[in-house]
Amino acid sequence: MKRAGLALMLKFIRDFSLGERKQALFFLLFFFIVFLPRESVSLSQKPSSLIAKISIRIDGQPDDESMAGLIPVKEGEEFSLKKITNSIKQIYRTGLFSDIQVLKQEEQEIQLTFLLTRRFFIRKIIFRGRQKVSRKDLKKSLLSLSEGSFFSDEKMDKAVGELKEALAKKGYFQPEIEAFAERDSRSPTVIVVFEIRSAKRYIIKKIAFSGEKILSEAELKKKMKIKEGDAYVPSVLEKELTRLKEFYGSKGYKRTEIDVEDVKFNERERSTYLFLRIIPHEKIEIVVE
């Protein structure tokens, strides 16, 4: 349209005399210098985007505006990515949330939605099951979770593995463990519950010794508190091996090594066979003259 108008104007100028042409060209030049830049400038200046609305959702639920003070950006302010980034950093620094996301809608009157995932604290850890292991010992076995620390599903999964290992040492093998967290609606805390069931128990069918025993197997078995027919408990066996080493040490064999060479399980009988190896090394005698 502009090009057509310009061509028409130039055609109109050609019909003038030389003097009239000069005046018309001057007028045309003045028109382009004065008016066109204003039009181009107005086109280049886009209206700034303003934040029309800010909403907050915590754990998927709308917030009652109690957390509005944590959001540094306000409605009516000009939108900028820098402000949003700084807002996320500031919310993270409170330590109250494990995940923060911001959704942006519209281009001019922008609507922002802050999606916050609350960080929960572990108020209590509960163990349920028929295993004869003290709650105190089970709690000590958990390295990933502890009362008063932050909760996460990843930590709870690790704790299940730690609990299985601790139960195996106490003679409860291959347990089925269900772990879940009960949230408190009145505070950002959870109760972590471990349901322990279906653990296997094995009876010691035979204890055999190998190596340079020095003592007979009958004498060695008398020195041990665990007997054939008892439940196999690895932690108890470790203590018995320590007692045997001390006994050998009292006989002059200070560097005696005793370890579990092999453990064989019989699933059908729910029994186990223990093979212990003894290496007494040299006998050390102290002679006082």
For the stretch 232-268, pLDDT in tens is 999 999 999 999 999 999 989 999 999 999 999 999 9
Q: Please, which residues have CB within 8 angstroms of residue 28's CB and are 6 or more apart in sequence?
A: 9, 13
Instruction: Give the pLDDT score at 180.
Output: 96
Residue identified by tokens 């601790």 is 166
Please write the tens of the pLDDT for every residue from 153-166: 999 999 999 999 99
Q: Which two tokens stand for residue 284?
A: 């050390």
pLDDT exceeds cutoff 80 at 196 = yes
Quote the pLDDT of residue 273.
Answer: 97
Q: Are residues 239 and 271 both part of a single domain? A: yes
Domain count for the chain: 3
Q: Which residues of 47-82 are buried (b: 16+ CB within 10 A; e: fewer)?
A: eeeebeebebbbeeeebeeebeebbebeeeeebeee
The more confident residue out of 115 and 186 is 115
Instruction: Provide the Cα torsion 139, 143, 147, 152; round to 10°.
Output: -130
Residue 165 within any structural domain of the chain:
yes
Would residue 96 count as lying in a domain? yes
CATH number for 82: 3.10.20.310
Token digits of residue 224: 């041990």
Backbone phi, then psi, for 118, in 5-degree steps?
-70, 145
In a domain, 144, yes or no: yes
End-of-domain residue from the set 97, 118, 139: 118
Residue range 84-112: mean pLDDT, rounded: 88
Region 221-225 average pLDDT: 90
Give the lowest-confidence range in 2-16, 17-31, 122-136, 202-216.
2-16
- Model confidence at 70, pLDDT cuts 50, 70, 90, reads confident
Average of pLDDT values for 37-45? 45
Residue 90 lies in a domain: yes
3-class DSSP assignment, residue 9: helix
Q: Residue 82 in contact with residue 141, Cβ under 8 Å? A: no
**Pair 74, 98 in one domain:** yes
Measure the CA–CA gap between 118 and 99, rounded to whole angstroms: 7
Same-domain check for residues 114 and 126: no
Better pLDDT: 169 or 107 = 169
Q: Which residue has the higher pLDDT, 15 or 103?
A: 103
* Count of residues making up the chain: 289
State mean pLDDT over 129-149: 92
| Residue with more model confidence, 42 or 47 | 47
- Given this model, what pLDDT does residue 23 score? 57
Asked if residue 36 lies in contact with residue 52, where contact means CB atoms within 8 angstroms, the answer is no
| pTM of the complete model | 0.66
The Cα–Cα gap between 288 and 73 comes to 86
pLDDT of residue 141: 94
pLDDT in tens, 203-216: 999 999 999 888 88
Domain boundary among the residues 172, 197, 222 is at 197
Secondary structure of residue 103 in the 3-state scheme: strand
Whether residue 188 sits in one domain with residue 218? no
114 CB burial (10 A radius; 0-12, 13-18, 19+): buried
Report pLDDT for 14: 47
Question: Which residue range(s) make up the domain with 170?
Answer: 121-197
> Do 104 and 88 touch, CB atoms closer than 8 A?
no
Task: Write down the pLDDT at residue 16.
Answer: 46
**Mean model confidence pLDDT for the chain:** 84
Q: Percent of the chain, pLDDT > 70?
A: 82
Q: What is the pLDDT of residue 47?
A: 61
289 within a domain of the structure (yes/no): no
CB 194 within 8 A of CB 126: yes
With respect to residue 260, please indicate whether it lies within any of the assigned structural domains. yes
Q: Answer yes or no: is pLDDT of 228 > 80.
A: yes
